[in-house]
Every structure is written in structure tokens, then in C-alpha cells.
Structure 1
């Protein structure tokens, strides 16, 4: 995920992220502010998935944007 691209469109993307991954809180998204590594860690924590799987899901999400 291109962190620069995300930071520029964060408000729009945060809604889409929340729709896809409902277990993420508003605070999670506020702290993430476009940081894909932090986001992967939160997905890993909230959904109990491996880091590789979280990163894969983020890449797939980014590819659909």
C-alpha cells in the first residue's frame, strides 16, 4: 500500500477500511493515518490472523482502489 497515496486520501479511505474491516475502531484508523504497517498489526490483533495474511488483505484492498 502506497503510504503517500493513502495519507492524501485518508478520510475517504478510512470509511472504506471501516466498511471492510468492521472490527477496526475509529481510534485505530486515526492512529494508522495511512501507515500500512500499523494497519496490518491492527488487523492481525483484531482478527487473529497471521501478519502475512493481514498484509495480503491490505494489498488486495489497495489493488481494488
Structure 2
């Protein structure tokens, strides 16, 4: 899965959350996206894998 596909999936998830939870704002979703990036960074440090490799693993679940 390339970066564009991953971003497309993320946009779908954001849209679904906004539909389900109408009170979510773009700021809320952006905050969550930042937390996801932070989590990826921590996992990278611990397991020694690259960000793209981890995103690939996550997308295959």
C-alpha cells in the first residue's frame, strides 16, 4: 500500500467518524492523526522498523 492509498483510507475513516459522531470537528480528527503519528514514532524506536514498513503492517491487519 502506498502513501496515497493510506491517506485515502484515513480520509474514509475520518469521514465515517464525522458521520457517526457529528460533533467531531476537523481539529479533533487532526489531533487524533497527530497522536497516531506519535505512536508510530514510538513503535519505530522500539522495533527498529521504518514508518512506511509499519504502516504497511497496519494496513494488512
TM-score (norm 1): 0.37
Give the structure, 1 or 2, with the largest relative contact order (CA under 8 Å, sep 6 or more).
2
Larger radius of gyration: 2
